[in-house]
Structure 1
């Protein structure tokens, strides 16, 4: 093997390892954030849908402020760390990280205060009163802690070490879920039964959980001998005149595009939040409570499930950034093109069968978490699952184009999509009611996705024919899996139809395991799995399974 091919193989191994840890961390934390829904939703009783709408709208507001304060910082830090190490300037890394933590902590405090003070205005615009004000107040505290933590996560990401990042996410989610469930049970089952108080405590859990995440990150900094270097300048720094202000400014400039484009999905959801209830009150005679329940069906309920898939996409899109940036800085276009191909292949290989499986098993999947759905709830759930392909493709395309220093184009393409969303939002709500915002989001994201991928091709010249062949093969395998799942569901439905949570679990486990097994075997046999676990491990797996 040539030296160049060895380097590319090493990069592929690094990306696969980082993708594995990042995906595990994101998936595990999202899964924990989904499993709690079953008891939590049940304990809220008759106020479950309304309470989930309140929770979702509070979190939408919080997420926007959180993204403004942190989104892009971890990716920008990762990009800068990779760049300085590739350019032989490692002495710039620690002062940059140190100064960025201080700046971001101050910035988080400012934004947290702003969010607290703006709560009444934001609640009114969402169609709520003091209930949402209390929820927004409880969430504003987390902004004091999260920005600095995001810098440390980006530092590890830039070193291609996703393990601390992943484990910090899991620790954060465990503490958050435990607090939410305990508080909700005490209030709804042992206390006053005030569902608003339960929601407020559920959202305040975001602040409590940050301490667990920080503890994990500090532990790994200390274990790997990085904590002392981060806290105390070393001789390499003090022996040179390092303009930390310039380095910091460069990092923040890198972060701004990531902040803007990384907020796209949440900004689209905020458009839904501020337009749906208000628009529908003009067009229809639904009560505010009815509209809040519809919003839960449209956004709050599906999001807890589909965001697991988006989290996987974000992991795939994020881990390749340092390597893609390093190749771009070195002008290694062949390696850049290969990373782009591998990123997109991994995404489609995971996301297409997951969406198809979710659609085919939508009724039992929804029932497990929220109880038996009516036609509107189930229809909105299915459309939301299908829409996930646009969310996932955007989550991968956006950081990819910015890793290639196409920041201005990334922002411009995002703005095109946002303008399209705003123009068609109300007309689509008028025509399709609760389905309107979902269609507007799909169309609004499709435009920047197309423009971004076209730009990435112009820069890297990745092989589009190879991508099309892989995509077609993935679609064929997904269709085969779908036929198998439909047959299994048809037989199982005659014997044991979906009627409650228990029967739904049986359908999910039985049909899901068979569908996943069929797809996994086909992906291994066709060698598509090589792009996820690596050629060596895939070959070992084929030998064990006698797939030749």
Structure 2
């Protein structure tokens, strides 16, 4: 069973990683096709869609997974199928409600984003159009999430993994092919190209759902046999099931919504804030778009770091439940060390190489000067996003759900207020610093609660991080020197794009060699990734 579970977990993790990598890579050709104006239109649609998707699924997939696993373990396979059936009904209903809400609210949302008196950027009609097209995905994605939760709870990770990859591949192919055909073959508008791209979420969802249905019907005889031969087939009232599920799931929803909410605050306030200080709509939309592109780059190291860090969380939860506080504190220290080992160098690298990396990834056409500047400002968000994600997971592991929600609300309120205060004075840096302050408040609050609840001491953790800080400093100096010397060495005739490409590749390669090489020599990597707490 352990071998099967580990193999399944590997498939699921690999699928998630492949999906995230594909989700990052496709943005490069997509922005080349539609530019910053097209990308910001795409962002307008996906922002509220992400929020409503999280609300419509109310965290049930994870809860269903744990619930099914729990009852399968005691030999009651009937309950798992009951949860799947009624969960599917619930997700269909919530999907229809969410679709209707997003479709009908499109004019209202577009009115918040766009000033109808300024014709320099996207129009209200454009924004309405793309929001309404992406809303169709809410009819299918919630139902998929319940199916995945059921399979994962049954220790069958393959169907979830396969459907995740298929959904993402189909979505990306539809986005890129649809946008290309719309612009270059049918010579249609940018708005129609972006509309096709947003509708791709529905097409990808259908593909993923077909995969799950196929697997389920292929296994239905085995599933019925398991149910009929279960040693403990006691029925549980549906109301009791959902009361337990929803009570467990809601804190996960709020935590998962934190980063999308921060991103949506920027999406929905930046245009009006910058127009209020004299910017035209197209200029404000450029900043809005570039901040979204910087967020995508920053989330790459965050995803990798939290994947490693969060792997220790189940152990923290288990130890806390069993009262093994020494092991809990040890695993929290290890989690924080791993997190900073991965995110700090990435953040420093993005900060030093902001402009060349932005040009290398998104090209010269996509506002590279302001893009490089914003990426440099935004680079430290990698550390804050990862720290928030992991401290929030620890708070959930030690059953401090209510306090976690309070910390999130404090941070979000501060972010909204600071956006309005800082933008008039700090321009492009304003929303970024507001994000930092909001997350810092939530992170410090989480750490305070963790420290108080577990008698966790910070000084040993900070001592253990000294080597990581020194290693990051050495890497940063090496990267800065190499970038500076490469710029001097390259002849003037080399184009700006190829200068950025060469500078980025050489500097990143040297940075990796220094960081991993010195870290290996100091046995730091071995210590961090060992199984010892």
Range into which the TM-score falls when normalised by the shorter chain: 0.7 to 0.9
How many Å apart are 1:64 and its aligned residue? 0.9
143-152 vs 73-82, which moves further: 73-82
Find the partner of 1:62 among 19, 39, 49.
49
Range with greater deviation from structure 2 (299-308 or 90-99)? 90-99
Cα distance in 2 for residues equivalent to 1:414 and 1:160: 32
Following the alignment from structure 2 to structure 1, what is the Cα–Cα distance between the partners of residues 369 and 527? 39
Structure 2 unaligned regions, length at least 5 = 115-122
Kept in 2, the 8 Å contact 1:160–1:322? The answer is no
Match of 1:381 in 2: 375
Tell which deviates more after alignment, 259-268 or 22-31. 22-31
Quick one: structure 1 residues 364 and 33, their matched pair in 2 at CA, closer, same or farther if it must change by over 3 Å?
same
Change (3 A) 1:180 1:419: same
Q: Deviations over 1:411-460 (max 9, x none)?
A: 11111112212222201112112221111111111111111122223334
Pick from 24, 34, 47: which aligns with 1:34? 24
- Residue in 2 that maps onto 1:446: 440
Distance 1:169 1:129 in 2: 33
Structure ranking higher on relative contact order (CA contacts 8 Å, 6+ apart): 1
Would you say 1:524 and 2:517 are equivalent positions?
no
Tell me which residue corresponds to 1:206.
201
Question: How do 1:113-124 and structure 2 match up within 5 A?
Answer: 113-124=100-111
Structure 1 position 93, deviation (Å):
4.9
Deviations 1:228-252 (A, max 9, x none): 5389844438732423431221111
Q: Give the match for residue 172 of structure 1.
A: 167
Q: Structure 2 residue aligned with 1:437, among 422, 431, 436? A: 431
Q: Of the candidates 386, 410, 413, which is equivalent to residue 404 of structure 2?
A: 410
- Residues 77, 226 of structure 2: 8 Å contact kept: no
Per-residue deviation, 1:366? 0.5
Change beyond 3 A, Cα 1:370–1:316:
same
| TM-score with structure 2 setting the length | 0.86
Paired position in structure 1 for 2:230: 236
Counterpart of 1:49 (choices 31, 36, 42) is 36
Residues 239-269 of structure 1: CA deviation (Å, up to 9, x unaligned): 3242343122111112112212221111122
Q: Offset of 1:81 from its aligned partner?
A: 5.5
Q: Unaligned 5+ residue runs, structure 1?
A: 1-11, 537-548
Residue by residue over 1:302-339, the C-alpha shift from the partner in whole angstroms, topping out at 9 and shown as x without a partner, is 12212223333553465445444444443343443344
Superposed displacement of residue 215, structure 1: 5.1
Taking a change above 3 Å as real, the CA distance of residues 408 and 427 of structure 1, as seen in their structure-2 partners, is: same
Check the 8 A contact 1:485/1:511 in 2, yes or no: yes
1:176, distance to aligned residue in structure 2 (A): 1.6
- Once the two structures are superposed, residues 13-43 of structure 1 have per-residue CA deviations (whole angstroms, 9 ceiling, x without a partner) of 9999898766644443232223223332222
Task: Please give the per-residue CA displacement for 1:63-105, whole angstroms capped at 9, x wherever unaligned.
Answer: 1111212363344345546666889988755544543333223
The match for 1:421 is: 415
Q: Comparing 262-271 with 443-452, which one deviates more in the overlay?
A: 262-271
Preserved CA contact (<8 Å) 1:84 1:90? yes
**Within 5 Å, which residues of 2 pair with 1:474-513?**
474-496=468-490, 499-513=495-509
Question: Residue 341 of structure 2 corresponds to which residue in structure 1?
Answer: 349
Distance across 1 between alignment mates of 2:408 and 2:315: 24
Distance 2:154 2:226 in 1: 19
Contact 2:102 2:132 in 1 (8 A): yes
CA distance in 1, matches of 2:526, 2:223: 38
Q: Is the 8 A contact 1:341 1:462 kept in 2?
A: no
Alignment of 1:111 onto 2:85? no
Retained in 2: the 8 A contact 1:71–1:263? Answer: no
Partner of 1:331: 323
Q: Deviations over 1:257-293 (max 9, x none)?
A: 2212221111122222222222222222x22122111
Q: Secondary structure at the match of 1:331?
A: coil
Q: 1:308 to 1:172 in 2, by over 3 A?
A: farther
In structure 1, the residue matched to 2:283 is 290
- After TM superposition, the score normalised by the length of structure 1 is 0.84
Deviations 1:158-178 (A, max 9, x none): 678766655543332222221
TM superposition shift of 1:475: 1.6
Q: Distance in 2 between matches of 1:219 and 1:320?
A: 34
Report the alpha carbon displacement of residue 351 of structure 1 after superposing the two structures with TM.
1.1
**Bigger mean CA offset, 245-254 vs 458-467:** 458-467
Number of matched pairs: 519
CA contact (8 A) 1:36 1:177 kept: yes
SS of residue paired to 2:388: helix
